[in-house]
Amino acid sequence: MATNSELEDVVLFHILPRDAASLEERLQTDRLVWTYFRNLERLVAVALRPEPGDLAALLRAIQSWASEHALATVGFEVDGRTYTLLSEPLVLAAAR
């Protein structure tokens, strides 16, 4: 992804359209969240807050959401790079 000044401090999540509304609903209570279209792909865009550790907090929230929706992985982009977040298996989440 080319660096784009309008997407600085934004994380883009590659979520299937059937799951996107659920993720947006989960995050919109305390974050700026919107749908971002690129090359016919629907992405969930989430603005990062300026406080330290916010990316880690966001990724933990996404990991928890993915586990609840039985998603093994969630692709995301930050700072022009693509990553894959592994979901926490539900068995381990329930044991905590």
31-86: per-residue pLDDT in tens? 999 999 999 899 999 999 999 999 999 999 999 999 999 899 999 999 999 999 99
12-32: per-residue pLDDT in tens? 999 999 999 999 999 999 999
Class for domain 8-95, per CATH? alpha beta
The per-residue pLDDT for 87 is 87
How far is 50 from 68, CA to CA, in rounded Å?
28
pTM of the full structure: 0.83
How far is 11 from 79, CA to CA, in rounded Å?
8
Question: Can you give the residue ranges of every domain in the chain?
Answer: 8-95
How far is 13 from 53, CA to CA, in rounded Å?
18
How far is 82 from 74, CA to CA, in rounded Å?
11
**Residue 93: its H or E element:** helix 90-95
**DSSP 8-state assignment for residue 47:** E
State mean pLDDT over 5-17: 85
